[in-house]
Amino acid sequence: MYIYGIHPVEELLLTVPEKVLKIFCEDPSATKFAEIRKIAESHGMKFVHADADELDHIAEDGNHQGVVVHTTPFEYDSLDNILRMNANESRACVMVLDQIQDPQNLGAIIRSAVALGVTGIIIPKRRAASVTPAVVRASAGQALKVRVAIVTNIAQTLEKLKKEGWWTVGAAAGEQSTDLWKIDFDMKAALVMGSEHQGLRRLVAEKCDFQVRIPMASGVDSLNVASAASIMLYEVRRQWAAR
């Protein structure tokens, strides 16, 4: 996999330097690469010079900002491992993303999730964005800090979470939904977000213990899924901090 962009590369070098195979850079001596250079040198890594055209080709015309790193493939975790990590916790939060297809949205959600203390991200195997270089960049490198599990069936995964003591909370704008602020998040919460275009699928929604909506000003029907996820995550964190 190729990770590109100054901030994602910095996060990669700080978080998992052992995954780095090569660092391609247009001008390693440039001031904007000072932090990358410092971290790389501390690990005994050297730069491979590459001009702009070469970097464009490697990054598949992504906004590389003059630096691209070749890494080992992204390593997904397992759902069972994420559950084991939280088995003895009375409060925890994971995100279940049902068919989020836009890499920018997935990256933005992961960035907020890491910032607000989520311990795992669960995504489906089909009809969904996976962790790609574009997702890593959109997450500002934070995708490298969180455990991501791929599952074959989201509805069955929610059932498994519930059997393991998690409460499933789905984002849904319908009249039957409860205002987000009215939910007590003193629990192990699995926040469930639907796709950009159709929201929660019927069967997935039926597996949620709670369906919640974000109260908004009149005339506003919905939020971008990444924005909605950030608000839900913040509310969980706010309640935990207040206890």
- pLDDT digits 0-9 by tens, 157-213: 999 999 999 999 999 987 789 999 999 999 999 999 999 888 899 999 999 999 999
Query: How confident is residue 89, by pLDDT bands cut at 50, 70 and 90?
Result: very high
Q: Cβ atoms within 10 A of the Cβ of 122, count? A: 23
- Give the model confidence (pLDDT) of 36-77 as tens digits: 999 999 999 999 999 999 999 998 878 899 999 999 999 999
Q: Cβ(10)–Cβ(35) under 8 Å?
A: yes
Closest CA to 108 of 74, 61, 150, 142: 142
pLDDT value of position 156? 97
Tell which wins on pLDDT, 140 or 116. 116
Query: Per the confidence metrics, is the pTM higher than 0.85?
Result: yes
Q: What is the pLDDT averaged over residues 213-241?
A: 91
Residue type, 159: E
Q: What is the pLDDT averaged over residues 209-223?
A: 86
- Parts of the chain belonging to CATH 3.40.1280.10: 79-242
Q: What is the pLDDT averaged over residues 79-86?
A: 96
Contacts of 213 (CB under 8 A, 6+ apart): 171, 172, 173, 174, 177, 178, 179, 180
- Residues of the chain with pLDDT > 70: what percent? 100
How many Å apart are CA 64 and CA 25, to the nearest integer? 10
How many Å apart are CA 202 and CA 157, to the nearest integer? 15
Q: Residue 131, Cα to own-chain centre: how many angstroms?
A: 8
- Parts of the chain belonging to CATH 3.30.1330.30: 2-71
- Considering the four listed CATH numbers 3.40.50.720, 3.30.390.50, 3.30.1330.30, 3.20.20.100, the one that applies to the domain covering 2-71 is 3.30.1330.30
Architecture of domain 79-242: 3-Layer(aba) Sandwich (3.40)
